[in-house]
Structure 1
Protein backbone atom coordinates (compact mmCIF):
# COMPACT_ATOMS: atom_id res chain seq x y z
CA UNK A 1 0.00 0.00 0.00
CA UNK A 2 1.24 3.47 -0.82
CA UNK A 3 2.33 5.72 1.98
CA UNK A 4 -0.07 8.55 2.81
CA UNK A 5 2.31 11.19 1.50
CA UNK A 6 2.58 9.53 -1.92
CA UNK A 7 0.62 11.43 -4.54
CA UNK A 8 -0.23 9.66 -7.77
CA UNK A 9 -0.13 12.11 -10.67
CA UNK A 10 -1.07 10.08 -13.73
CA UNK A 11 -0.74 11.09 -17.32
CA UNK A 12 -3.99 12.31 -18.82
CA UNK A 13 -4.71 14.23 -15.61
CA UNK A 14 -6.52 17.43 -16.52
CA UNK A 15 -5.26 19.77 -13.82
CA UNK A 16 -4.38 23.09 -15.45
CA UNK A 17 -7.64 23.05 -17.40
CA UNK A 18 -10.40 24.69 -15.42
CA UNK A 19 -13.24 22.48 -16.56
CA UNK A 20 -16.37 24.14 -17.76
CA UNK A 21 -18.83 24.33 -20.61
CA UNK A 22 -18.81 27.30 -22.93
CA UNK A 23 -22.04 27.78 -24.84
CA UNK A 24 -21.75 27.11 -28.60
CA UNK A 25 -23.58 30.38 -29.14
CA UNK A 26 -20.94 32.34 -27.23
CA UNK A 27 -18.57 34.39 -29.36
CA UNK A 28 -14.97 33.33 -28.57
CA UNK A 29 -12.98 35.96 -26.75
CA UNK A 30 -9.78 37.46 -28.06
CA UNK A 31 -6.91 35.15 -27.20
CA UNK A 32 -9.11 32.04 -27.18
CA UNK A 33 -7.37 28.71 -27.83
CA UNK A 34 -8.44 26.01 -30.24
CA UNK A 35 -7.74 22.26 -30.25
CA UNK A 36 -8.44 20.60 -33.60
CA UNK A 37 -9.34 16.90 -33.80
CA UNK A 38 -9.82 14.62 -36.79
CA UNK A 39 -10.94 11.00 -36.36
CA UNK A 40 -9.41 10.69 -32.91
CA UNK A 41 -6.16 12.45 -33.83
CA UNK A 42 -5.04 15.88 -32.64
CA UNK A 43 -3.45 18.58 -34.78
CA UNK A 44 0.01 19.64 -33.58
CA UNK A 45 2.58 22.08 -34.90
CA UNK A 46 6.28 21.34 -35.40
CA UNK A 47 6.85 21.80 -31.63
CA UNK A 48 4.05 19.37 -30.79
CA UNK A 49 1.86 22.12 -29.37
CA UNK A 50 -1.82 21.19 -29.49
CA UNK A 51 -3.04 24.79 -29.08
CA UNK A 52 -3.80 27.15 -31.95
CA UNK A 53 -5.14 30.71 -31.81
CA UNK A 54 -8.88 30.55 -32.41
CA UNK A 55 -8.65 33.34 -35.00
CA UNK A 56 -6.08 31.37 -37.00
CA UNK A 57 -8.68 29.02 -38.43
CA UNK A 58 -11.72 29.61 -40.59
CA UNK A 59 -14.41 27.37 -39.14
CA UNK A 60 -17.50 26.60 -41.24
CA UNK A 61 -20.76 27.45 -39.51
CA UNK A 62 -21.76 23.78 -39.74
CA UNK A 63 -18.84 22.61 -37.57
CA UNK A 64 -19.79 22.31 -33.89
CA UNK A 65 -17.36 24.29 -31.74
CA UNK A 66 -17.43 23.31 -28.08
CA UNK A 67 -15.75 25.14 -25.24
CA UNK A 68 -14.12 22.63 -22.89
CA UNK A 69 -12.81 25.04 -20.25
CA UNK A 70 -10.11 27.58 -19.57
CA UNK A 71 -6.33 27.21 -19.83
CA UNK A 72 -4.48 29.87 -17.86
CA UNK A 73 -7.67 31.95 -17.89
CA UNK A 74 -7.94 31.69 -21.69
CA UNK A 75 -11.07 29.97 -23.05
CA UNK A 76 -10.27 26.73 -24.84
CA UNK A 77 -12.45 25.27 -27.60
CA UNK A 78 -12.37 22.05 -29.61
CA UNK A 79 -13.57 21.53 -33.16
CA UNK A 80 -13.80 18.34 -35.21
CA UNK A 81 -12.00 18.78 -38.51
CA UNK A 82 -13.82 17.18 -41.48
CA UNK A 83 -10.56 16.10 -43.09
CA UNK A 84 -9.03 19.21 -44.62
CA UNK A 85 -5.31 18.82 -45.42
CA UNK A 86 -3.02 19.91 -42.60
CA UNK A 87 -1.20 23.17 -43.18
CA UNK A 88 2.59 23.19 -43.61
CA UNK A 89 4.31 22.70 -40.26
CA UNK A 90 1.32 20.88 -38.76
CA UNK A 91 0.08 17.30 -38.75
CA UNK A 92 -2.48 15.09 -37.05
CA UNK A 93 -1.13 12.60 -34.51
CA UNK A 94 -2.72 9.96 -32.29
CA UNK A 95 -2.85 10.37 -28.53
CA UNK A 96 -0.31 7.62 -27.98
CA UNK A 97 2.21 9.45 -30.16
CA UNK A 98 1.85 12.49 -27.92
CA UNK A 99 2.98 10.54 -24.85
CA UNK A 100 6.64 11.45 -25.09
CA UNK A 101 6.29 14.84 -26.75
CA UNK A 102 3.96 16.96 -24.61
CA UNK A 103 3.54 17.62 -20.90
CA UNK A 104 0.85 15.92 -18.85
CA UNK A 105 -1.35 18.98 -18.89
CA UNK A 106 -1.49 19.12 -22.69
CA UNK A 107 -1.94 15.36 -22.85
CA UNK A 108 -4.95 15.57 -20.54
CA UNK A 109 -6.52 18.37 -22.53
CA UNK A 110 -5.93 16.49 -25.79
CA UNK A 111 -7.63 13.45 -24.28
CA UNK A 112 -10.63 15.52 -23.23
CA UNK A 113 -10.84 17.08 -26.69
CA UNK A 114 -10.84 13.67 -28.36
CA UNK A 115 -13.55 12.37 -26.04
CA UNK A 116 -15.75 15.41 -26.64
CA UNK A 117 -15.50 15.15 -30.43
CA UNK A 118 -16.17 11.40 -30.27
CA UNK A 119 -19.31 12.18 -28.27
CA UNK A 120 -20.49 14.75 -30.82
CA UNK A 121 -19.90 12.34 -33.71
CA UNK A 122 -21.76 9.40 -32.14
CA UNK A 123 -24.78 11.24 -30.73
CA UNK A 124 -25.99 13.12 -33.79
CA UNK A 125 -29.30 11.27 -33.77
CA UNK A 126 -31.65 10.38 -30.96
CA UNK A 127 -31.40 6.78 -29.81
CA UNK A 128 -35.07 6.77 -28.84
CA UNK A 129 -36.88 8.27 -31.87
CA UNK A 130 -34.16 8.77 -34.48
CA UNK A 131 -34.53 12.54 -34.85
CA UNK A 132 -31.48 14.77 -35.34
CA UNK A 133 -30.15 16.06 -32.03
CA UNK A 134 -28.80 19.50 -31.16
CA UNK A 135 -26.00 20.61 -28.86
CA UNK A 136 -27.36 22.08 -25.62
CA UNK A 137 -26.67 25.69 -24.83
CA UNK A 138 -26.04 25.29 -21.09
CA UNK A 139 -24.26 21.95 -20.66
CA UNK A 140 -22.32 19.33 -22.60
CA UNK A 141 -25.20 17.24 -23.88
CA UNK A 142 -27.11 16.46 -27.06
CA UNK A 143 -30.85 17.10 -26.89
CA UNK A 144 -33.59 15.64 -29.08
CA UNK A 145 -36.03 18.43 -30.04
CA UNK A 146 -38.76 15.87 -30.77
CA UNK A 147 -38.97 13.56 -27.74
CA UNK A 148 -36.75 15.46 -25.28
CA UNK A 149 -34.19 12.67 -24.85
CA UNK A 150 -30.88 14.01 -23.45
CA UNK A 151 -27.58 12.26 -24.12
CA UNK A 152 -24.42 12.94 -22.14
CA UNK A 153 -20.84 11.92 -22.97
CA UNK A 154 -20.35 8.24 -22.34
CA UNK A 155 -17.89 7.22 -19.63
CA UNK A 156 -17.01 3.54 -19.29
CA UNK A 157 -15.58 2.66 -15.85
CA UNK A 158 -12.99 -0.11 -15.81
CA UNK A 159 -11.13 -1.63 -12.88
CA UNK A 160 -7.43 -2.41 -12.93
CA UNK A 161 -5.82 -4.34 -10.08
CA UNK A 162 -2.33 -5.38 -9.01
CA UNK A 163 -2.41 -8.71 -7.13
CA UNK A 164 0.44 -9.16 -4.65
CA UNK A 165 1.77 -12.13 -2.73
CA UNK A 166 4.63 -10.96 -0.52
CA UNK A 167 7.54 -10.20 -2.89
CA UNK A 168 5.83 -11.27 -6.09
CA UNK A 169 2.95 -10.00 -8.20
CA UNK A 170 0.61 -11.67 -10.64
CA UNK A 171 0.82 -10.39 -14.21
CA UNK A 172 -0.99 -11.55 -17.33
CA UNK A 173 -0.89 -10.93 -21.04
CA UNK A 174 -3.65 -10.39 -23.55
CA UNK A 175 -3.28 -11.72 -27.09
CA UNK A 176 -3.58 -8.08 -28.18
CA UNK A 177 -0.38 -7.08 -26.34
CA UNK A 178 2.99 -6.62 -28.06
CA UNK A 179 5.20 -9.69 -27.90
CA UNK A 180 6.48 -10.42 -24.38
CA UNK A 181 4.41 -7.74 -22.62
CA UNK A 182 2.55 -8.52 -19.40
CA UNK A 183 0.34 -6.26 -17.32
CA UNK A 184 -2.06 -6.26 -14.39
CA UNK A 185 -5.64 -7.54 -14.50
CA UNK A 186 -8.24 -5.13 -15.90
CA UNK A 187 -11.82 -5.20 -17.11
CA UNK A 188 -14.99 -3.18 -17.45
CA UNK A 189 -17.55 -2.74 -14.70
CA UNK A 190 -20.80 -4.50 -15.62
CA UNK A 191 -24.27 -2.98 -15.19
CA UNK A 192 -25.64 -3.49 -11.70
CA UNK A 193 -22.36 -4.24 -9.92
CA UNK A 194 -20.08 -2.21 -7.69
CA UNK A 195 -16.49 -1.54 -8.67
CA UNK A 196 -15.38 -3.74 -5.74
CA UNK A 197 -17.43 -6.63 -7.08
CA UNK A 198 -15.98 -6.03 -10.53
CA UNK A 199 -12.46 -6.42 -9.12
CA UNK A 200 -13.24 -9.85 -7.65
CA UNK A 201 -15.20 -10.99 -10.71
CA UNK A 202 -12.56 -9.95 -13.26
CA UNK A 203 -9.78 -11.63 -11.29
CA UNK A 204 -11.80 -14.84 -10.93
CA UNK A 205 -12.82 -14.87 -14.58
CA UNK A 206 -9.43 -14.06 -16.08
CA UNK A 207 -6.90 -15.84 -13.84
CA UNK A 208 -8.98 -17.96 -11.43
CA UNK A 209 -7.39 -16.94 -8.10
CA UNK A 210 -9.02 -15.54 -4.98
CA UNK A 211 -8.07 -12.17 -3.54
CA UNK A 212 -8.56 -10.22 -0.31
CA UNK A 213 -7.75 -6.79 1.15
CA UNK A 214 -8.84 -4.91 -1.97
CA UNK A 215 -7.81 -1.28 -1.60
CA UNK A 216 -8.40 1.71 -3.84
CA UNK A 217 -5.14 3.04 -5.29
CA UNK A 218 -5.84 5.77 -7.85
CA UNK A 219 -7.57 6.49 -11.14
CA UNK A 220 -6.74 7.67 -14.63
CA UNK A 221 -8.84 9.03 -17.48
CA UNK A 222 -8.21 6.83 -20.50
CA UNK A 223 -9.67 8.25 -23.72
CA UNK A 224 -9.44 5.12 -25.89
CA UNK A 225 -12.13 6.13 -26.53
CA UNK A 226 -13.97 6.85 -23.26
CA UNK A 227 -12.79 4.86 -20.24
CA UNK A 228 -12.00 5.75 -16.66
CA UNK A 229 -9.43 3.36 -15.18
CA UNK A 230 -10.02 2.80 -11.44
CA UNK A 231 -6.94 1.25 -9.85
CA UNK A 232 -6.72 -1.15 -6.90
CA UNK A 233 -4.26 -3.33 -5.08
CA UNK A 234 -5.20 -6.71 -3.64
CA UNK A 235 -3.58 -9.53 -1.69
CA UNK A 236 -3.51 -13.11 -2.96
CA UNK A 237 -5.88 -15.30 -0.95
CA UNK A 238 -5.46 -18.69 -2.63
CA UNK A 239 -6.11 -20.78 -5.69
CA UNK A 240 -4.17 -21.84 -8.75
CA UNK A 241 -3.81 -19.68 -11.85
CA UNK A 242 -6.36 -20.75 -14.45
CA UNK A 243 -6.53 -18.41 -17.44
CA UNK A 244 -9.74 -17.89 -19.42
CA UNK A 245 -8.02 -18.36 -22.82
CA UNK A 246 -10.10 -15.53 -24.26
CA UNK A 247 -9.01 -12.25 -22.70
CA UNK A 248 -5.88 -13.81 -21.25
CA UNK A 249 -3.40 -16.10 -23.01
CA UNK A 250 -0.79 -16.36 -20.24
CA UNK A 251 -0.38 -15.41 -16.58
CA UNK A 252 2.32 -16.00 -13.98
CA UNK A 253 3.83 -14.78 -10.72
CA UNK A 254 6.82 -12.48 -11.09
CA UNK A 255 9.35 -11.37 -8.50
CA UNK A 256 10.68 -7.84 -8.41
CA UNK A 257 13.97 -8.97 -9.91
CA UNK A 258 12.55 -10.79 -12.94
CA UNK A 259 9.77 -8.74 -14.40
CA UNK A 260 8.74 -9.17 -18.05
CA UNK A 261 8.22 -6.38 -20.56
CA UNK A 262 5.78 -3.88 -19.01
CA UNK A 263 3.22 -1.35 -20.34
CA UNK A 264 4.43 2.15 -21.14
CA UNK A 265 5.19 4.58 -18.30
CA UNK A 266 2.19 6.77 -19.15
CA UNK A 267 -0.29 4.12 -18.01
CA UNK A 268 -1.79 3.47 -14.61
CA UNK A 269 -0.82 -0.18 -15.10
CA UNK A 270 2.85 0.80 -15.12
CA UNK A 271 2.34 3.12 -12.14
CA UNK A 272 0.80 0.28 -10.10
CA UNK A 273 3.69 -2.06 -10.90
CA UNK A 274 6.30 0.64 -10.32
CA UNK A 275 4.80 1.38 -6.90
CA UNK A 276 5.13 -2.32 -6.05
CA UNK A 277 8.78 -2.23 -7.14
CA UNK A 278 9.53 0.80 -4.96
CA UNK A 279 8.27 -1.02 -1.87
CA UNK A 280 11.04 -3.59 -2.28
CA UNK A 281 13.87 -1.08 -2.32
Structure 2
Protein backbone atom coordinates (compact mmCIF):
# COMPACT_ATOMS: atom_id res chain seq x y z
CA UNK A 1 0.00 0.00 0.00
CA UNK A 2 1.42 3.36 -0.96
CA UNK A 3 1.59 5.98 1.75
CA UNK A 4 0.77 8.81 -0.65
CA UNK A 5 -0.59 8.63 -4.17
CA UNK A 6 0.35 11.59 -6.37
CA UNK A 7 -1.38 10.17 -9.47
CA UNK A 8 -4.86 11.54 -10.04
CA UNK A 9 -7.28 9.71 -12.32
CA UNK A 10 -10.26 12.01 -12.88
CA UNK A 11 -12.36 9.13 -14.30
CA UNK A 12 -11.83 6.68 -11.43
CA UNK A 13 -14.83 6.06 -9.17
CA UNK A 14 -13.71 6.01 -5.57
CA UNK A 15 -14.80 6.49 -1.98
CA UNK A 16 -13.52 9.75 -0.48
CA UNK A 17 -12.81 9.92 3.25
CA UNK A 18 -12.24 13.65 3.71
CA UNK A 19 -11.05 14.63 7.20
CA UNK A 20 -10.40 17.96 8.84
CA UNK A 21 -9.93 18.86 12.50
CA UNK A 22 -11.15 15.48 13.75
CA UNK A 23 -14.31 15.33 11.64
CA UNK A 24 -15.33 13.67 8.36
CA UNK A 25 -17.32 14.98 5.40
CA UNK A 26 -20.60 13.05 5.11
CA UNK A 27 -23.48 13.33 2.68
CA UNK A 28 -27.07 13.33 4.03
CA UNK A 29 -28.23 10.43 1.88
CA UNK A 30 -27.07 7.16 0.31
CA UNK A 31 -23.96 5.64 1.83
CA UNK A 32 -23.06 8.96 3.48
CA UNK A 33 -19.38 8.71 2.45
CA UNK A 34 -18.86 10.63 -0.84
CA UNK A 35 -18.45 8.35 -3.86
CA UNK A 36 -17.65 9.08 -7.49
CA UNK A 37 -14.95 10.32 -9.84
CA UNK A 38 -13.34 13.73 -9.62
CA UNK A 39 -14.97 14.92 -12.84
CA UNK A 40 -18.42 14.28 -11.36
CA UNK A 41 -17.72 15.63 -7.88
CA UNK A 42 -17.48 19.32 -7.12
CA UNK A 43 -14.14 18.72 -5.49
CA UNK A 44 -10.88 20.45 -6.39
CA UNK A 45 -8.25 18.05 -7.70
CA UNK A 46 -5.65 20.23 -6.03
CA UNK A 47 -7.02 19.24 -2.62
CA UNK A 48 -6.44 15.55 -3.32
CA UNK A 49 -2.87 15.87 -4.56
CA UNK A 50 -1.66 13.99 -1.46
CA UNK A 51 -4.49 11.48 -1.22
CA UNK A 52 -3.66 8.20 0.53
CA UNK A 53 -5.15 4.91 -0.58
CA UNK A 54 -6.35 3.04 2.50
CA UNK A 55 -8.05 0.03 0.89
CA UNK A 56 -11.02 -1.00 -1.22
CA UNK A 57 -14.74 -1.14 -0.54
CA UNK A 58 -17.27 -2.72 -2.91
CA UNK A 59 -14.53 -3.10 -5.55
CA UNK A 60 -13.69 0.62 -5.56
CA UNK A 61 -10.61 2.27 -4.03
CA UNK A 62 -10.88 4.25 -0.82
CA UNK A 63 -8.85 7.44 -0.42
CA UNK A 64 -8.01 9.42 2.67
CA UNK A 65 -7.80 13.18 2.12
CA UNK A 66 -6.55 15.24 5.06
CA UNK A 67 -7.40 18.93 4.89
CA UNK A 68 -5.68 21.59 7.03
CA UNK A 69 -9.04 23.10 7.99
CA UNK A 70 -12.75 22.58 7.40
CA UNK A 71 -12.91 23.76 3.82
CA UNK A 72 -16.21 23.68 1.96
CA UNK A 73 -15.69 20.87 -0.53
CA UNK A 74 -19.30 20.84 -1.75
CA UNK A 75 -19.87 17.19 -0.86
CA UNK A 76 -21.65 17.37 2.47
CA UNK A 77 -21.21 18.50 6.06
CA UNK A 78 -18.46 17.80 8.56
CA UNK A 79 -19.59 15.31 11.20
CA UNK A 80 -18.26 13.15 14.01
CA UNK A 81 -17.15 9.63 13.09
CA UNK A 82 -19.55 8.19 15.68
CA UNK A 83 -22.49 9.44 13.59
CA UNK A 84 -21.82 6.58 11.14
CA UNK A 85 -22.36 3.90 13.81
CA UNK A 86 -25.47 1.91 12.98
CA UNK A 87 -26.15 3.94 9.83
CA UNK A 88 -23.74 2.18 7.43
CA UNK A 89 -22.61 -1.42 7.21
CA UNK A 90 -19.72 -2.61 9.37
CA UNK A 91 -17.22 -2.73 6.51
CA UNK A 92 -17.77 0.90 5.54
CA UNK A 93 -17.63 2.07 9.16
CA UNK A 94 -14.38 0.13 9.66
CA UNK A 95 -12.92 1.80 6.56
CA UNK A 96 -13.87 5.22 7.92
CA UNK A 97 -12.26 4.27 11.20
CA UNK A 98 -9.15 3.18 9.33
CA UNK A 99 -9.00 6.61 7.70
CA UNK A 100 -9.00 8.29 11.12
CA UNK A 101 -6.37 5.94 12.50
CA UNK A 102 -4.01 6.38 9.56
CA UNK A 103 -4.49 10.14 9.71
CA UNK A 104 -3.60 10.10 13.42
CA UNK A 105 -0.58 7.89 12.75
CA UNK A 106 0.99 10.25 10.23
CA UNK A 107 0.33 13.30 12.42
CA UNK A 108 1.79 11.77 15.58
CA UNK A 109 4.86 10.09 14.09
CA UNK A 110 6.66 13.02 12.50
CA UNK A 111 9.76 12.46 14.62
CA UNK A 112 11.65 9.34 15.60
CA UNK A 113 10.91 8.03 19.08
CA UNK A 114 14.38 6.48 19.23
CA UNK A 115 16.72 9.30 18.15
CA UNK A 116 14.44 12.31 17.63
CA UNK A 117 15.22 12.86 13.95
CA UNK A 118 12.62 13.65 11.31
CA UNK A 119 10.67 10.60 10.05
CA UNK A 120 9.70 9.99 6.42
CA UNK A 121 6.74 8.11 4.99
CA UNK A 122 7.56 4.85 3.23
CA UNK A 123 6.07 4.84 -0.25
CA UNK A 124 5.04 1.18 -0.45
CA UNK A 125 3.40 0.53 2.94
CA UNK A 126 1.74 2.41 5.77
CA UNK A 127 4.82 3.12 7.85
CA UNK A 128 7.24 5.85 8.86
CA UNK A 129 11.01 5.40 8.85
CA UNK A 130 13.92 7.28 10.36
CA UNK A 131 16.79 7.10 7.89
CA UNK A 132 19.20 8.29 10.61
CA UNK A 133 18.87 5.27 12.92
CA UNK A 134 16.70 3.03 10.66
CA UNK A 135 13.87 2.89 13.21
CA UNK A 136 10.51 2.09 11.59
CA UNK A 137 7.02 2.55 13.01
CA UNK A 138 3.55 1.37 12.02
CA UNK A 139 0.06 2.54 13.01
CA UNK A 140 -0.62 1.82 16.65
CA UNK A 141 -3.25 -0.79 17.51
CA UNK A 142 -4.27 -1.16 21.16
CA UNK A 143 -5.83 -4.56 21.97
CA UNK A 144 -8.65 -4.55 24.49
CA UNK A 145 -11.43 -6.85 25.65
CA UNK A 146 -15.13 -6.27 26.10
CA UNK A 147 -17.33 -8.83 27.81
CA UNK A 148 -21.03 -9.41 28.32
CA UNK A 149 -21.83 -11.35 31.51
CA UNK A 150 -24.97 -13.38 32.22
CA UNK A 151 -26.44 -14.60 35.50
CA UNK A 152 -29.41 -16.83 34.72
CA UNK A 153 -31.84 -14.38 33.06
CA UNK A 154 -30.01 -11.26 34.13
CA UNK A 155 -27.21 -9.27 32.47
CA UNK A 156 -24.51 -7.27 34.21
CA UNK A 157 -24.57 -3.68 32.96
CA UNK A 158 -22.57 -0.71 34.15
CA UNK A 159 -22.65 3.06 33.91
CA UNK A 160 -19.12 4.15 33.05
CA UNK A 161 -17.59 7.38 34.28
CA UNK A 162 -17.32 8.70 30.71
CA UNK A 163 -21.13 8.51 30.40
CA UNK A 164 -21.79 10.19 33.74
CA UNK A 165 -22.48 13.65 32.28
CA UNK A 166 -24.69 12.44 29.47
CA UNK A 167 -28.32 13.57 29.57
CA UNK A 168 -29.24 10.04 28.53
CA UNK A 169 -26.87 7.67 30.37
CA UNK A 170 -26.00 4.52 28.48
CA UNK A 171 -25.53 1.26 30.38
CA UNK A 172 -23.09 -1.12 28.81
CA UNK A 173 -20.73 -4.04 29.28
CA UNK A 174 -17.33 -4.12 30.96
CA UNK A 175 -14.13 -3.54 28.98
CA UNK A 176 -10.45 -2.87 29.41
CA UNK A 177 -7.04 -2.87 27.78
CA UNK A 178 -4.82 -5.93 27.59
CA UNK A 179 -1.58 -5.66 29.55
CA UNK A 180 1.86 -6.81 28.39
CA UNK A 181 2.34 -10.57 28.66
CA UNK A 182 -1.37 -11.19 29.27
CA UNK A 183 -3.70 -13.52 27.39
CA UNK A 184 -7.10 -12.24 26.33
CA UNK A 185 -8.86 -14.67 28.66
CA UNK A 186 -6.74 -13.57 31.62
CA UNK A 187 -7.49 -9.96 30.72
CA UNK A 188 -11.24 -10.69 30.73
CA UNK A 189 -11.08 -12.24 34.21
CA UNK A 190 -8.87 -9.46 35.60
CA UNK A 191 -10.87 -6.55 34.20
CA UNK A 192 -14.19 -7.99 35.38
CA UNK A 193 -12.86 -8.56 38.89
CA UNK A 194 -11.13 -5.17 39.10
CA UNK A 195 -14.16 -3.22 37.91
CA UNK A 196 -17.03 -5.18 39.46
CA UNK A 197 -15.60 -7.47 42.15
CA UNK A 198 -17.18 -10.63 40.72
CA UNK A 199 -15.64 -13.77 39.28
CA UNK A 200 -16.77 -15.38 36.04
CA UNK A 201 -16.66 -18.71 34.19
CA UNK A 202 -17.29 -20.16 30.71
CA UNK A 203 -15.52 -17.36 28.86
CA UNK A 204 -16.37 -17.59 25.16
CA UNK A 205 -14.91 -15.54 22.31
CA UNK A 206 -17.59 -14.01 20.05
CA UNK A 207 -16.10 -11.55 17.55
CA UNK A 208 -13.89 -8.49 17.21
CA UNK A 209 -14.33 -4.88 16.10
CA UNK A 210 -11.80 -2.19 15.18
CA UNK A 211 -12.65 0.75 17.42
CA UNK A 212 -11.03 3.95 16.15
CA UNK A 213 -11.37 6.00 19.35
CA UNK A 214 -8.54 6.44 18.82
CA UNK A 215 -6.88 3.12 17.85
CA UNK A 216 -8.32 0.11 19.70
CA UNK A 217 -9.03 -3.41 18.51
CA UNK A 218 -11.83 -4.78 20.66
CA UNK A 219 -12.14 -8.53 21.21
CA UNK A 220 -15.64 -9.44 22.33
CA UNK A 221 -16.47 -12.23 24.80
CA UNK A 222 -19.41 -13.57 26.76
CA UNK A 223 -19.12 -15.16 30.20
CA UNK A 224 -21.27 -16.46 33.03
CA UNK A 225 -21.33 -15.35 36.65
CA UNK A 226 -19.42 -17.62 39.03
CA UNK A 227 -19.43 -15.94 42.46
CA UNK A 228 -18.95 -12.73 44.38
CA UNK A 229 -20.90 -9.56 45.10
CA UNK A 230 -20.78 -6.45 42.96
CA UNK A 231 -18.24 -3.95 44.29
CA UNK A 232 -17.38 -1.32 41.69
CA UNK A 233 -14.13 0.48 41.06
CA UNK A 234 -15.25 4.13 41.36
CA UNK A 235 -12.41 5.29 39.12
CA UNK A 236 -13.96 3.32 36.25
CA UNK A 237 -17.68 2.97 37.02
CA UNK A 238 -20.48 5.04 38.50
CA UNK A 239 -22.64 1.98 39.10
CA UNK A 240 -23.16 -1.64 38.07
CA UNK A 241 -26.08 -4.02 38.61
CA UNK A 242 -27.83 -7.12 37.35
CA UNK A 243 -30.72 -6.28 35.01
CA UNK A 244 -33.57 -8.57 34.00
CA UNK A 245 -33.68 -9.00 30.23
CA UNK A 246 -37.30 -7.76 30.29
CA UNK A 247 -36.36 -4.56 32.12
CA UNK A 248 -33.18 -3.20 30.59
CA UNK A 249 -31.93 0.41 30.80
CA UNK A 250 -30.75 2.48 27.83
CA UNK A 251 -28.31 0.32 25.85
CA UNK A 252 -25.44 1.13 23.46
CA UNK A 253 -26.37 1.92 19.87
CA UNK A 254 -26.71 -0.81 17.24
CA UNK A 255 -23.44 -1.26 15.39
CA UNK A 256 -21.35 -1.30 18.54
CA UNK A 257 -19.73 -4.51 19.73
CA UNK A 258 -21.20 -3.92 23.19
CA UNK A 259 -24.71 -4.02 21.74
CA UNK A 260 -23.94 -7.19 19.78
CA UNK A 261 -22.78 -8.90 22.98
CA UNK A 262 -25.85 -7.75 24.91
CA UNK A 263 -28.16 -8.95 22.14
CA UNK A 264 -26.38 -12.31 22.16
CA UNK A 265 -26.90 -12.64 25.92
CA UNK A 266 -30.57 -11.74 25.57
CA UNK A 267 -30.94 -14.55 23.02
CA UNK A 268 -29.22 -16.96 25.41
CA UNK A 269 -31.59 -15.95 28.22
CA UNK A 270 -34.74 -16.31 26.14
Coarse TM-score class (shorter-chain normalised)? 0.7 to 0.9
The offset of 1:85, in angstroms, is 2.0
Q: For each residue in 1:1-33, what CA deviation from the matched residue of structure 2 results, as whole angstroms up to 9, or x when unmatched?
A: xxxxxxxxxxxxxxxxxxxx2353562444052
Which TM-score applies when normalising by structure 1? Answer: 0.85
Partner of 1:38: 20
Q: 2:169, 2:55 → 1: CA distance? A: 41
Partner of 1:49: 33
Which TM-score applies when normalising by structure 2? Answer: 0.88
Partner of 1:11: none
What are the ranges of 5 or more consecutive residues in structure 1 without an aligned counterpart?
A: 1-20
Q: 2:261, 2:222 → 1: CA distance? A: 8
1:106 partnered with 2:86: no
Partner of 2:228: 239
Q: 1:265, 1:43 → 2: CA distance? A: 22
| Aligned counterpart in structure 2 of residue 216 of structure 1, from 195, 202, 205 | 205
1:24 partnered with 2:4: yes
| Aligned counterpart in structure 2 of residue 139 of structure 1, from 116, 120, 125 | 125
Q: How does 1:159-170 map to 2 (within 5 A)?
A: 159-170=145-156
Q: Is the 8 A contact 2:86 2:254 kept in 1?
A: no
Summarize the Cα distance change of 1:261–1:41 in structure 2 as closer, same or farther, 3 Å threshold. Answer: same
Partner of 1:58: 45
Number of equivalent positions: 260
What are the ranges of 5 or more consecutive residues in structure 2 without an aligned counterpart?
A: none
Summarize the Cα distance change of 1:70–1:181 in structure 2 as closer, same or farther, 3 Å threshold. Answer: closer
CA RMSD of aligned residues (A): 2.1
1:158 partnered with 2:144: yes
The offset of 1:196, in angstroms, is 1.1
Summarize the Cα distance change of 1:158–1:22 in structure 2 as closer, same or farther, 3 Å threshold. Answer: same
